[in-house]
Amino acid sequence: MNADLFDSLPDGALVADCDGLVLAVNAAARQMLGDEARPGARLDDALTLVDNHGVDWCSVNLPYDGLGTRNGVPEQTWLLPDGREVLVTARIVRPTPSSPVEQVALSLRSGRGRARLDRERSDLVATVAHELRSPLTGVKGFVQVLLNRWDVLNDDQKKLMLATTLADAERLSRLIAELLDVARLDTGRLGLAVRPVDPDVLVRRVVDSVSASAASREFTVSTESSAQVLADPDKFTQVVTNLVENAVRHGDGTVRVSLSDVVAADQPMVRLVVSDEGDGIDEDLRRRVITKFWTTGTASGTGLGMYLAHGLTRAHGGDFMIGERDGGGAEIVVRWPAAPATSAAGAEQ
Indicate the fold that domain 3-110 takes in CATH.
Beta-Lactamase (3.30.450)
- pLDDT at residue 258 is higher than 80: yes
- pLDDT at residue 114 is higher than 60: yes
Cβ-proximal residues to 274 (8 Å cutoff; 6+ apart), any chain:
240, 243, 244, 246, 247, 255, 256, 257, 331, 332, 334
Residue range 183-212: average pLDDT?
90
- Three-class DSSP category at 294: coil
Cβ-proximal residues to 112 (8 Å cutoff; 6+ apart), any chain:
84, 85
Q: How many residues does the chain have?
A: 349
DSSP string, 177-222: HHHHHHHHHHHT------EEE-HHHHHHHHHHHHHHT-TTS-EEEE
Report domain extents, the chain.
3-110, 115-187, 195-346
Minimum mean pLDDT range among 125-129, 191-195, 307-311: 125-129
CATH architecture for the domain at 115-187: Orthogonal Bundle (1.10)
- pLDDT at residue 191 is higher than 60: yes
- pLDDT at residue 299 is higher than 70: no
- For 14-69, write each residue's pLDDT tens digit: 999 999 999 999 998 988 898 888 899 999 999 989 888 888 999 999 999 877 77
- pLDDT at residue 229 is higher than 90: yes
3-state secondary structure 234-248: HHHHHHHHHHHHHHH
- For 59-111, write each residue's pLDDT tens digit: 999 999 877 778 888 888 888 888 888 899 999 999 888 889 999 999 998 87
- pLDDT at residue 251 is higher than 90: no
Residue range 279-294: average pLDDT?
80
Q: What percent of the chain has pLDDT over 70?
A: 91
- pLDDT at residue 127 is higher than 80: no
pLDDT of residue 297: 57
pLDDT category of residue 318 using cuts at 50, 70 and 90: very high
Q: What percent of the chain has pLDDT over 90?
A: 41
pLDDT of residue 168: 86
Average pLDDT for the chain: 86
CB distance 347 to 228 below 8 Å: yes
pLDDT of residue 113: 65
pLDDT of residue 239: 94
pLDDT category of residue 294 using cuts at 50, 70 and 90: confident
Indicate the fold that domain 195-346 takes in CATH.
Heat Shock Protein 90 (3.30.565)
* CA–CA gap between residue 67 and residue 154 (Å, rounded): 77
* CA–CA gap between residue 306 and residue 311 (Å, rounded): 8
Phi, psi of 13, rounded to the nearest 5 degrees = -140, 140
Q: What's the N-to-C CA distance of the chain in angstroms?
A: 62
pLDDT of residue 122: 72
- pLDDT at residue 342 is higher than 80: no
Closest Cα partner for 310 from 286, 328, 330, 326? 286
* CA–CA gap between residue 222 and residue 213 (Å, rounded): 21
pLDDT category of residue 197 using cuts at 50, 70 and 90: very high
The enclosing H or E element of 324 equals strand 319-324
Residue range 235-256: average pLDDT?
90
Minimum mean pLDDT range among 114-118, 203-207, 279-283: 114-118
Alpha helical stretches, state H, 51-154: 57-61, 112-149
124: left (phi over 0), alpha (psi -120 to 50) or beta: alpha
CB atoms near residue 77 (< 10 Å): 14
Residue range 257-270: average pLDDT?
89
DSSP state of 316: T
- For 142-159, write each residue's pLDDT tens digit: 999 999 999 999 999 999
Alpha helical stretches, state H, 229-301: 233-250, 286-289
